[in-house]
Amino acid sequence: MTTDHGALRLWLRLLACTNLIEAPLRQQLRRSFGESLPRFDLMAQLERHPQGLSMRELSERLMVTGGNVTGLTDRLVSQGWVMRQAAPGDRRRVTVRLTAAGRRQFKLMAREHEAWVQSLLGGLDPADQTQLFELLGRLKRSLRNPSIRTAPADRAPR
Partner DNA sequence: TATTGTTATACTCTATAACTATA
Partner DNA sequence: TATAGTTATAGAGTATAACAATA
* Single-letter amino acid, residue 143: L
Q: How many residues does the chain have?
A: 158
Per CB under 8 A, the list member of 51, 150, 155, 157 interacting with a copy of itself is 150
Which of the ranges 84-92, 106-114, 115-123, 125-133 carries the binding residues for DNA, by CB under 7 A?
A: 84-92
C-alpha 86/C-alpha 23 separation (Å) is 37
Which of the ranges 76-84, 87-95, 100-108, 125-133 carries the binding residues for a copy of itself, by CB under 8 A?
A: 125-133
| Residue 36's binding partner out of a copy of itself, DNA, none, with CB under 5 to 8 Å set by partner kind | DNA
Sorted by sequence, the CB contacts under 8 Å of residue 53 that are 6+ apart come out as: 45, 46, 61, 95, 96
Check residue 2 for interaction with a copy of itself (CB under 8 A): no
C-alpha 88/C-alpha 147 separation (Å) is 36
User: CA torsion, points 136, 97, 25, 142, in degrees to nearest 10?
Assistant: -10
Check residue 13 for interaction with a copy of itself (CB under 8 A): yes
| Residue 120's binding partner out of a copy of itself, DNA, none, with CB under 5 to 8 Å set by partner kind | a copy of itself
Contact residues: DNA, CB under 7 A: 23, 26-27, 30-31, 36-39, 54-57, 64-75, 84, 87, 89-95
